[in-house]
Chains A and B, each alone.
Chain A
């Protein structure tokens, strides 16, 4: 089955700096890669996603890059703000419903 590894497990950044979270996946059939932000006690919220036919996608301060050959994808957050503090999960989807999540990254943005 699919295995998704996510690093780092915790990330502390100064407000205004950039944050990068990296994930690797094992199944070359995976074709959809979402990133979720989950605040304490709340549901996971999709913040950005990328499909396997695209190498990079950007939405304001957030960007995702995908390297299919190396089977890894990364989340980039620029100009971090305290409200970016949360747990971030990457995921890979091999097809109908077969989502596998990474272990999560606790991001702490200090003012």
Chain B
């Protein structure tokens, strides 16, 4: 299985809502990533988990809270988001310093 899955595919939420994005991989990869991608822009790294521990936080606002319950799962908890947080949120995984496998993304709209 060389696939990273993400749920939901689409999410619309108000600025006072709390929601979570989920990501799963069964390739045995030990690094998992969250990226944010705005239209016509490259993916921007948000967080990196290595061996289930947060290793990189690219100065992301605290309204985004990552969680890695186990080596196959990665969550992104969302609270009190702003309209400018609307974007495609991509999860990725990799075994080492090489190839990343991206999930299909969650398209988030904050109203």
Contacts and interface: CB of A to CB of B under 8 A. Distances in A.
Given A96-B48, A98-B56, A46 B42 contact: no
Interface string A67-86: 00000000000000000000
A49 B43 contact: no
Interface in B64-111: 90, 97-105
A49 B54 CA distance: 26
Given A43-B103, A44-B102, A95 B42 contact: no
A99 B102 contact: no
A100 B35 CA distance: 11
Interface residues of A, number: 23
Interface residues of B, number: 22
Interface string A23-44: 0000000011010000000111
Given A42-B104, A43-B90, A44-B43, A97 B98 contact: no
Interface in A13-66: 31-32, 34, 42-46, 49, 51
B50 interface: yes
Contacts of B97: 31-32, 93, 95-96
Interface string B30-41: 010100000011
A44 B31 contact: no
B103 A97 contact: no
B43 A96 contact: no
Nearest to A31: B97
Contacts of B44: 101
Contacts of A46: 99-101
A27 B41 CA distance: 22
A31 B98 CA distance: 9
Given A44-B102, A51-B98, 6 more contacts: A31-B97, A46-B99, A93-B97, A97-B33, A97-B55, A98-B45
20 contacts: A34-B99, A42-B104, A43-B90, A43-B102, A43-B103, A43-B105, A45-B102, A49-B99, A89-B42, A89-B43, A96-B48, A96-B55, A97-B45, A97-B48, A97-B50, A97-B55, A97-B56, A99-B100, A100-B45, A104-B41
